[in-house]
Amino acid sequence: MCKPLSLYFHVPFCVRKCAYCDFASWPGREGDWRRYFEALENELKDWSEITDFGRLSDHYCVQTAFIGGGTPTLAPAEVLCTITDQSRVLFPFAEDAEITIEGNPGTLTPEKLAIYRSAGINRLSLGAQSFDDGLLESLGRIHDARQIGEAVRMARDAGFENINLDLMYALPGQTMDQWIDTLNAATALGVEHISAYSLIVEEGTPMAARVAKGEAVLPDEDAVNAMQRAAIDLLARAGYGRYEISNYAKPGFECRHNLVYWRRGDYLGLGCAAHSMLQNCRFHNPENLDDYLAGGRRPDRQRLDARDILEETVMLGTRTTQGIDFGLFSGTDPARLKRLIQADLIAIENGFLRLTRGGLEVQDAVVLELLEVLGC
Protein backbone atom coordinates (compact mmCIF):
# COMPACT_ATOMS: atom_id res chain seq x y z
CA MET A 1 0.00 0.00 0.00
CA CYS A 2 1.32 3.42 -0.97
CA LYS A 3 2.03 5.58 2.10
CA PRO A 4 1.85 9.40 2.00
CA LEU A 5 5.14 11.29 1.80
CA SER A 6 5.92 14.99 1.82
CA LEU A 7 9.02 16.51 0.24
CA TYR A 8 10.75 19.69 1.39
CA PHE A 9 13.42 21.41 -0.72
CA HIS A 10 15.56 24.07 0.93
CA VAL A 11 16.83 26.83 -1.36
CA PRO A 12 19.26 28.87 0.77
CA PHE A 13 19.78 31.92 -1.45
CA CYS A 14 18.54 35.46 -0.82
CA VAL A 15 19.22 39.03 -1.86
CA ARG A 16 20.16 40.04 1.69
CA LYS A 17 19.51 38.81 5.20
CA CYS A 18 16.51 40.35 6.92
CA ALA A 19 17.09 41.92 10.33
CA TYR A 20 15.28 39.10 12.17
CA CYS A 21 16.48 36.14 10.07
CA ASP A 22 18.51 33.29 11.53
CA PHE A 23 17.56 30.78 8.83
CA ALA A 24 20.15 28.95 6.73
CA SER A 25 20.37 31.47 3.89
CA TRP A 26 23.21 33.18 2.06
CA PRO A 27 23.20 36.37 -0.04
CA GLY A 28 25.69 36.90 -2.82
CA ARG A 29 26.15 33.23 -3.76
CA GLU A 30 24.76 33.39 -7.30
CA GLY A 31 27.80 31.52 -8.55
CA ASP A 32 26.66 28.45 -6.60
CA TRP A 33 23.08 28.29 -7.87
CA ARG A 34 23.50 25.68 -10.60
CA ARG A 35 25.90 23.62 -8.51
CA TYR A 36 23.42 23.63 -5.65
CA PHE A 37 20.49 22.49 -7.75
CA GLU A 38 22.64 19.73 -9.22
CA ALA A 39 23.40 18.63 -5.64
CA LEU A 40 19.67 18.61 -4.88
CA GLU A 41 19.02 16.44 -7.93
CA ASN A 42 21.76 14.03 -6.86
CA GLU A 43 20.31 13.82 -3.37
CA LEU A 44 16.91 13.04 -4.87
CA LYS A 45 18.47 10.26 -6.94
CA ASP A 46 20.13 8.85 -3.84
CA TRP A 47 16.74 8.54 -2.16
CA SER A 48 15.28 6.77 -5.18
CA GLU A 49 17.85 4.01 -4.70
CA ILE A 50 17.92 1.38 -1.97
CA THR A 51 18.54 3.00 1.43
CA ASP A 52 18.18 1.77 4.98
CA PHE A 53 14.59 2.95 4.69
CA GLY A 54 14.12 0.84 1.57
CA ARG A 55 13.44 2.22 -1.90
CA LEU A 56 11.17 5.13 -1.05
CA SER A 57 9.50 5.20 -4.45
CA ASP A 58 8.33 1.61 -3.87
CA HIS A 59 6.50 2.46 -0.66
CA TYR A 60 5.50 6.12 -0.79
CA CYS A 61 3.42 8.47 -2.91
CA VAL A 62 4.14 12.20 -2.69
CA GLN A 63 1.11 14.10 -1.41
CA THR A 64 2.75 17.48 -0.80
CA ALA A 65 5.98 19.24 -1.70
CA PHE A 66 7.30 22.55 -0.41
CA ILE A 67 10.13 24.68 -1.82
CA GLY A 68 11.33 26.99 0.94
CA GLY A 69 14.26 29.14 1.78
CA GLY A 70 15.87 31.59 1.68
CA THR A 71 14.15 33.08 -1.31
CA PRO A 72 13.52 30.31 -3.86
CA THR A 73 12.00 32.79 -6.33
CA LEU A 74 15.34 34.60 -6.56
CA ALA A 75 16.87 31.75 -8.58
CA PRO A 76 16.18 31.39 -12.32
CA ALA A 77 12.80 29.65 -12.61
CA GLU A 78 13.94 27.16 -15.21
CA VAL A 79 16.82 26.11 -12.95
CA LEU A 80 14.67 25.85 -9.86
CA CYS A 81 12.02 23.77 -11.60
CA THR A 82 14.56 21.07 -12.40
CA ILE A 83 13.97 19.78 -8.86
CA THR A 84 10.22 19.45 -9.34
CA ASP A 85 10.72 17.82 -12.73
CA GLN A 86 13.28 15.38 -11.32
CA SER A 87 11.16 14.53 -8.28
CA ARG A 88 8.26 13.58 -10.54
CA VAL A 89 10.55 11.27 -12.51
CA LEU A 90 11.85 9.54 -9.38
CA PHE A 91 8.75 9.45 -7.17
CA PRO A 92 5.05 8.79 -7.78
CA PHE A 93 2.94 11.89 -7.12
CA ALA A 94 -0.72 12.01 -6.15
CA GLU A 95 -2.87 13.61 -8.85
CA ASP A 96 -3.97 16.32 -6.41
CA ALA A 97 -0.53 16.85 -4.84
CA GLU A 98 -0.13 20.25 -3.18
CA ILE A 99 3.13 21.81 -4.38
CA THR A 100 4.14 25.10 -2.75
CA ILE A 101 6.86 27.60 -3.51
CA GLU A 102 7.85 30.40 -1.13
CA GLY A 103 8.58 33.74 -2.71
CA ASN A 104 9.42 37.35 -2.04
CA PRO A 105 7.10 39.81 -3.83
CA GLY A 106 10.12 41.78 -5.03
CA THR A 107 11.56 38.83 -6.97
CA LEU A 108 8.52 37.71 -8.96
CA THR A 109 7.74 38.28 -12.64
CA PRO A 110 4.93 37.03 -14.87
CA GLU A 111 7.47 34.88 -16.71
CA LYS A 112 8.68 33.15 -13.53
CA LEU A 113 5.15 32.50 -12.32
CA ALA A 114 4.17 30.99 -15.66
CA ILE A 115 7.15 28.61 -15.49
CA TYR A 116 6.21 27.57 -11.94
CA ARG A 117 2.67 26.75 -13.00
CA SER A 118 3.84 24.80 -16.05
CA ALA A 119 6.06 22.76 -13.69
CA GLY A 120 3.01 21.80 -11.61
CA ILE A 121 3.58 24.20 -8.71
CA ASN A 122 0.06 25.10 -7.58
CA ARG A 123 0.47 27.01 -4.31
CA LEU A 124 2.36 30.27 -3.73
CA SER A 125 3.43 31.48 -0.28
CA LEU A 126 4.47 35.13 -0.25
CA GLY A 127 6.59 36.64 2.51
CA ALA A 128 4.62 39.86 2.78
CA GLN A 129 5.21 40.46 6.53
CA SER A 130 3.62 43.94 6.55
CA PHE A 131 1.80 46.44 4.35
CA ASP A 132 3.57 49.33 6.09
CA ASP A 133 6.58 50.49 4.11
CA GLY A 134 8.34 51.88 7.17
CA LEU A 135 8.08 48.60 9.01
CA LEU A 136 9.20 46.66 5.94
CA GLU A 137 12.29 48.85 5.73
CA SER A 138 13.08 48.34 9.42
CA LEU A 139 12.85 44.58 8.90
CA GLY A 140 15.29 44.74 5.99
CA ARG A 141 12.75 43.46 3.46
CA ILE A 142 13.55 44.07 -0.22
CA HIS A 143 9.95 44.78 -1.27
CA ASP A 144 7.36 47.44 -0.52
CA ALA A 145 3.63 47.17 0.12
CA ARG A 146 2.71 47.98 -3.48
CA GLN A 147 4.68 44.98 -4.73
CA ILE A 148 2.68 42.59 -2.55
CA GLY A 149 -0.53 43.44 -4.38
CA GLU A 150 1.27 43.28 -7.72
CA ALA A 151 2.64 39.83 -6.91
CA VAL A 152 -0.82 38.52 -6.03
CA ARG A 153 -2.30 39.92 -9.25
CA MET A 154 0.52 38.43 -11.35
CA ALA A 155 0.05 35.08 -9.63
CA ARG A 156 -3.68 35.12 -10.37
CA ASP A 157 -2.96 35.90 -14.01
CA ALA A 158 -0.57 32.93 -14.10
CA GLY A 159 -3.29 30.63 -12.80
CA PHE A 160 -2.51 30.36 -9.08
CA GLU A 161 -5.69 29.65 -7.14
CA ASN A 162 -4.06 28.98 -3.78
CA ILE A 163 -2.03 31.86 -2.34
CA ASN A 164 -0.74 32.43 1.18
CA LEU A 165 0.54 35.64 2.73
CA ASP A 166 2.96 35.51 5.67
CA LEU A 167 2.41 38.41 8.07
CA MET A 168 4.29 39.46 11.22
CA TYR A 169 3.15 41.26 14.34
CA ALA A 170 4.75 42.36 17.63
CA LEU A 171 7.33 44.29 15.61
CA PRO A 172 9.37 47.07 17.25
CA GLY A 173 7.39 50.28 16.98
CA GLN A 174 4.35 48.59 15.43
CA THR A 175 1.01 50.01 16.55
CA MET A 176 -2.29 48.20 16.72
CA ASP A 177 -3.61 50.44 13.94
CA GLN A 178 -0.71 49.43 11.68
CA TRP A 179 -1.40 45.76 12.38
CA ILE A 180 -5.12 46.14 11.65
CA ASP A 181 -4.29 47.99 8.42
CA THR A 182 -2.00 45.12 7.36
CA LEU A 183 -4.69 42.53 8.10
CA ASN A 184 -7.28 44.51 6.17
CA ALA A 185 -4.92 44.93 3.21
CA ALA A 186 -4.19 41.20 3.18
CA THR A 187 -7.83 40.14 3.28
CA ALA A 188 -8.73 42.71 0.62
CA LEU A 189 -6.46 40.83 -1.81
CA GLY A 190 -8.68 37.76 -1.43
CA VAL A 191 -5.88 35.27 -0.81
CA GLU A 192 -6.87 31.79 0.38
CA HIS A 193 -4.52 31.51 3.36
CA ILE A 194 -2.87 33.84 5.85
CA SER A 195 -0.10 33.01 8.32
CA ALA A 196 0.26 35.52 11.16
CA TYR A 197 3.44 35.10 13.20
CA SER A 198 4.60 36.96 16.27
CA LEU A 199 8.17 38.23 15.86
CA ILE A 200 10.74 36.08 17.66
CA VAL A 201 14.02 37.87 18.20
CA GLU A 202 16.74 35.29 17.59
CA GLU A 203 20.19 35.59 19.13
CA GLY A 204 22.89 36.80 16.77
CA THR A 205 20.58 38.68 14.41
CA PRO A 206 20.75 42.43 13.72
CA MET A 207 17.33 42.75 15.34
CA ALA A 208 18.65 41.21 18.56
CA ALA A 209 21.54 43.69 18.56
CA ARG A 210 19.13 46.61 18.14
CA VAL A 211 16.96 45.38 20.99
CA ALA A 212 20.00 44.91 23.24
CA LYS A 213 21.14 48.48 22.54
CA GLY A 214 17.66 49.90 23.14
CA GLU A 215 17.39 51.02 19.54
CA ALA A 216 14.35 48.80 19.03
CA VAL A 217 11.66 48.40 21.68
CA LEU A 218 9.45 45.33 21.60
CA PRO A 219 5.79 45.45 22.65
CA ASP A 220 4.95 43.90 26.02
CA GLU A 221 3.13 40.59 26.43
CA ASP A 222 -0.29 42.23 26.77
CA ALA A 223 0.19 44.12 23.50
CA VAL A 224 1.34 40.95 21.74
CA ASN A 225 -1.71 39.02 22.93
CA ALA A 226 -3.98 41.90 21.92
CA MET A 227 -2.55 41.82 18.38
CA GLN A 228 -3.05 38.07 18.17
CA ARG A 229 -6.65 38.36 19.36
CA ALA A 230 -7.31 41.14 16.87
CA ALA A 231 -6.04 38.90 14.08
CA ILE A 232 -8.23 35.98 15.17
CA ASP A 233 -11.37 38.12 15.22
CA LEU A 234 -10.72 40.13 12.06
CA LEU A 235 -9.71 37.11 10.01
CA ALA A 236 -12.73 35.13 11.23
CA ARG A 237 -15.03 37.93 10.06
CA ALA A 238 -13.26 37.84 6.68
CA GLY A 239 -13.87 34.09 6.31
CA TYR A 240 -10.52 32.69 7.47
CA GLY A 241 -10.77 29.87 9.99
CA ARG A 242 -7.97 29.45 12.49
CA TYR A 243 -6.73 25.86 12.26
CA GLU A 244 -3.33 26.25 13.96
CA ILE A 245 -1.84 28.77 16.38
CA SER A 246 -0.55 31.03 13.59
CA ASN A 247 -2.45 29.86 10.52
CA TYR A 248 -5.80 30.81 9.02
CA ALA A 249 -7.49 29.56 5.86
CA LYS A 250 -10.63 29.79 3.84
CA PRO A 251 -12.52 26.46 3.92
CA GLY A 252 -10.58 23.74 2.11
CA PHE A 253 -7.34 25.74 1.84
CA GLU A 254 -5.53 24.64 4.99
CA CYS A 255 -1.86 24.02 4.17
CA ARG A 256 -1.68 20.26 3.74
CA HIS A 257 2.11 20.26 3.87
CA ASN A 258 2.33 21.95 7.26
CA LEU A 259 -0.39 19.69 8.64
CA VAL A 260 1.96 16.78 7.92
CA TYR A 261 4.46 18.28 10.38
CA TRP A 262 1.88 18.89 13.09
CA ARG A 263 0.41 15.41 12.66
CA ARG A 264 3.82 13.72 12.53
CA GLY A 265 3.55 12.34 9.03
CA ASP A 266 6.55 11.16 7.03
CA TYR A 267 8.53 13.87 5.27
CA LEU A 268 11.86 14.01 3.48
CA GLY A 269 13.92 17.19 3.55
CA LEU A 270 16.48 17.85 0.83
CA GLY A 271 19.16 20.51 0.68
CA CYS A 272 21.33 22.13 3.33
CA ALA A 273 19.73 22.44 6.78
CA ALA A 274 16.73 20.36 5.68
CA HIS A 275 15.15 18.15 8.33
CA SER A 276 13.34 14.85 7.79
CA MET A 277 11.27 12.30 9.62
CA LEU A 278 10.79 8.83 8.19
CA GLN A 279 9.39 5.86 10.08
CA ASN A 280 9.88 7.65 13.43
CA CYS A 281 13.50 8.46 12.69
CA ARG A 282 14.57 12.11 12.62
CA PHE A 283 17.65 13.35 10.77
CA HIS A 284 18.93 16.44 9.00
CA ASN A 285 21.49 17.69 6.53
CA PRO A 286 24.39 19.99 7.54
CA GLU A 287 23.32 23.59 8.02
CA ASN A 288 26.36 25.06 6.30
CA LEU A 289 26.02 25.55 2.55
CA ASP A 290 29.63 24.65 1.80
CA ASP A 291 29.42 21.47 3.86
CA TYR A 292 26.36 20.41 1.90
CA LEU A 293 27.98 21.22 -1.45
CA ALA A 294 30.98 19.15 -0.35
CA GLY A 295 28.71 16.13 -0.02
CA GLY A 296 27.68 16.24 3.64
CA ARG A 297 24.40 14.41 4.28
CA ARG A 298 22.38 13.37 7.33
CA PRO A 299 25.07 13.60 10.04
CA ASP A 300 22.69 12.90 12.94
CA ARG A 301 19.94 10.35 13.30
CA GLN A 302 17.57 9.97 16.19
CA ARG A 303 15.35 6.93 16.43
CA LEU A 304 12.32 8.01 18.44
CA ASP A 305 11.10 5.78 21.24
CA ALA A 306 7.53 5.56 22.56
CA ARG A 307 8.05 8.43 25.00
CA ASP A 308 9.52 10.69 22.30
CA ILE A 309 6.57 9.94 20.02
CA LEU A 310 4.04 10.70 22.77
CA GLU A 311 5.74 13.99 23.67
CA GLU A 312 5.88 15.09 20.03
CA THR A 313 2.27 14.10 19.46
CA VAL A 314 1.16 16.35 22.32
CA MET A 315 3.50 19.27 21.56
CA LEU A 316 2.73 19.38 17.84
CA GLY A 317 -0.88 18.24 17.84
CA THR A 318 -2.03 20.81 20.39
CA ARG A 319 -0.87 23.56 18.03
CA THR A 320 -3.87 22.72 15.85
CA THR A 321 -7.42 23.68 16.70
CA GLN A 322 -8.53 20.09 16.12
CA GLY A 323 -6.21 18.93 18.88
CA ILE A 324 -5.12 15.38 19.74
CA ASP A 325 -6.86 12.04 20.19
CA PHE A 326 -8.42 12.01 23.65
CA GLY A 327 -7.79 8.27 23.76
CA LEU A 328 -4.18 9.09 24.71
CA PHE A 329 -5.47 10.05 28.16
CA SER A 330 -7.28 6.79 28.86
CA GLY A 331 -6.45 5.70 32.39
CA THR A 332 -5.00 9.06 33.50
CA ASP A 333 -6.17 11.16 36.46
CA PRO A 334 -9.38 12.90 35.32
CA ALA A 335 -9.12 15.47 38.10
CA ARG A 336 -6.09 17.14 36.54
CA LEU A 337 -7.79 17.42 33.17
CA LYS A 338 -10.91 18.74 34.88
CA ARG A 339 -8.86 21.58 36.40
CA LEU A 340 -7.62 22.55 32.94
CA ILE A 341 -11.18 22.46 31.61
CA GLN A 342 -12.44 24.62 34.48
CA ALA A 343 -9.62 27.09 33.81
CA ASP A 344 -10.87 27.25 30.18
CA LEU A 345 -7.51 26.07 28.84
CA ILE A 346 -8.65 22.83 27.20
CA ALA A 347 -11.87 21.37 25.83
CA ILE A 348 -12.81 17.79 24.99
CA GLU A 349 -15.05 17.40 21.94
CA ASN A 350 -15.79 14.64 19.43
CA GLY A 351 -13.04 12.40 20.77
CA PHE A 352 -10.35 15.11 20.65
CA LEU A 353 -8.65 17.16 23.33
CA ARG A 354 -7.94 20.65 22.05
CA LEU A 355 -6.63 23.85 23.54
CA THR A 356 -9.08 26.71 23.87
CA ARG A 357 -8.30 30.19 22.59
CA GLY A 358 -6.86 31.03 26.01
CA GLY A 359 -4.98 27.74 26.13
CA LEU A 360 -3.33 28.42 22.79
CA GLU A 361 -1.98 31.70 24.19
CA VAL A 362 -0.09 29.71 26.83
CA GLN A 363 0.43 26.52 24.83
CA ASP A 364 3.85 25.73 26.26
CA ALA A 365 2.55 25.76 29.84
CA VAL A 366 -0.52 23.67 28.98
CA VAL A 367 1.61 21.14 27.12
CA LEU A 368 3.85 20.70 30.18
CA GLU A 369 0.77 20.04 32.29
CA LEU A 370 -0.63 17.54 29.80
CA LEU A 371 2.69 15.72 29.61
CA GLU A 372 2.74 15.43 33.40
CA VAL A 373 -0.77 13.97 33.26
CA LEU A 374 0.56 11.39 30.82
CA GLY A 375 3.52 10.61 33.05
CA CYS A 376 6.15 12.12 30.78
CA dist., res. 27 & res. 49, Å (int): 33
Q: Does residue 301 carry a pLDDT above 70? A: yes
pLDDT reported for residue 73: 95
CA dist., res. 184 & res. 234, Å (int): 8
Q: Does residue 55 carry a pLDDT above 90? A: no
Cβ atoms of 22 and 200 within 8 Å: the answer is no
User: Could you tell me the pLDDT band of residue 364, with boundaries at 50, 70 and 90?
Assistant: very high
**How does pLDDT run across 184-227, given as a tens digit for each residue?**
999 999 999 999 999 999 998 988 899 999 999 999 999 999 99
Nearest to 77 by CA among 44, 45, 120: 120
Specify the CATH architecture of the domain 3-262: Alpha-Beta Barrel (3.20)
pLDDT reported for residue 22: 82
Domain with CATH 3.20.20.70 in the chain: 3-262
Least confident of 52-66, 151-165, 182-196, 315-329: 52-66
Cβ atoms of 194 and 248 within 8 Å: the answer is yes
Looking at CATH, the fold of the domain delimited by 305-376 is given as Arc Repressor Mutant, subunit A (1.10.10)
Q: Does residue 50 carry a pLDDT above 70? A: no
pLDDT reported for residue 9: 97
CA dist., res. 109 & res. 111, Å (int): 5
CA dist., res. 271 & res. 41, Å (int): 10
Nearest to 370 by CA among 355, 350, 351, 349: 355
pLDDT reported for residue 300: 77
Q: Does residue 299 carry a pLDDT above 70? A: no
Q: Does residue 321 carry a pLDDT above 80? A: yes
Q: Specify the pTM.
A: 0.95
Q: Does residue 104 carry a pLDDT above 70? A: yes
**How does pLDDT run across 115-128, given as a tens digit for each residue?**
999 999 999 999 99
Q: Does residue 31 carry a pLDDT above 80? A: yes
Cβ atoms of 257 and 6 within 8 Å: the answer is yes
Task: Report strand pairing: 93-103 vs 123-129.
Answer: parallel
